[in-house]
């Protein structure tokens, strides 16, 4: 089984807090906190997709975008490939416009709050847990 590749961004604001999205996710069947993420469009590179998704979902522009790696999510069947980025020095430049009818609420979290969220299951999707672990090593 193959799924579309995606880009995921951990957006850190100038004050060190991290922009999170609280939204319902069908996979875990619950509301959880997530990072901005989305599919990579045909002909689009992972970095461009990361910047586009961040802008669409949060209205944030990136100061510095650092690749954290690309990983296959299923070792035996591939599934899809995720491209992970740390975005630092983010600032709001536009109104969010995801355009895909997803309802989401923006929240600013401290590093310590995100550490607790990862431990208590508020980050309910593996990709987001992995992204926070990779970002945490860099912050």
Q: For each of the domains in the chain, give its residue range(s) and CATH number, in order of start.
A: 6-138 (3.90.79.10)
Predicted confidence band of residue 1 (pLDDT cuts 50, 70, 90): low
Strand-pairing partners, residue 87, are 11, 65
What whole-number distance in Å separates Cα of residue 129 and Cα of residue 24?
16
% pLDDT > 70, the chain: 94
Comparing CA positions, the residue from 64, 76, 69, 88 lying closest to residue 127 is 69
* Per-residue pLDDT reduced to its tens digit, 79-100: 789 999 999 999 999 988 766 6
pLDDT band at 106 (very low <50, low <70, confident <90, very high): very high
Is the pTM value of this prediction over 0.75?
Answer: yes
Can you give the pLDDT at residue 29? Answer: 74
pLDDT digits (tens, 9 = 90+) for 14-47: 999 999 999 877 766 777 899 999 999 999 999 9
């Amino acid at each position: 089984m193959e799924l579309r590749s995606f880009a995921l961004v951990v957006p850190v604001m100038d004050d060190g807090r991290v922009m999170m999205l609280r939204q319902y996710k069908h996979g875990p069947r619950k509301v959880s906190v997530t990072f901005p993420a989305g599919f990579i469009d045909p002909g689009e590179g992972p970095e461009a997709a990361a910047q586009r998704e961040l802008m669409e979902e949060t209205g944030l522009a990136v100061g510095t975008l650092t690749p954290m790696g690309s990983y296959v999510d299923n070792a035996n069947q591939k599934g899809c490939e995720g491209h992970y980025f740390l975005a630092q020095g983010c600032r709001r430049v536009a109104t969010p416009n995801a355009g895909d009818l997803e309802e989401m609420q923006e929240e600013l979290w401290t590093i310590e709050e995100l550490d607790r969220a990862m431990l208590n299951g508020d980050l309910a999707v593996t990709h987001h847990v992995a992204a926070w672990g990779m970002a945490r090593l860099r912050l």
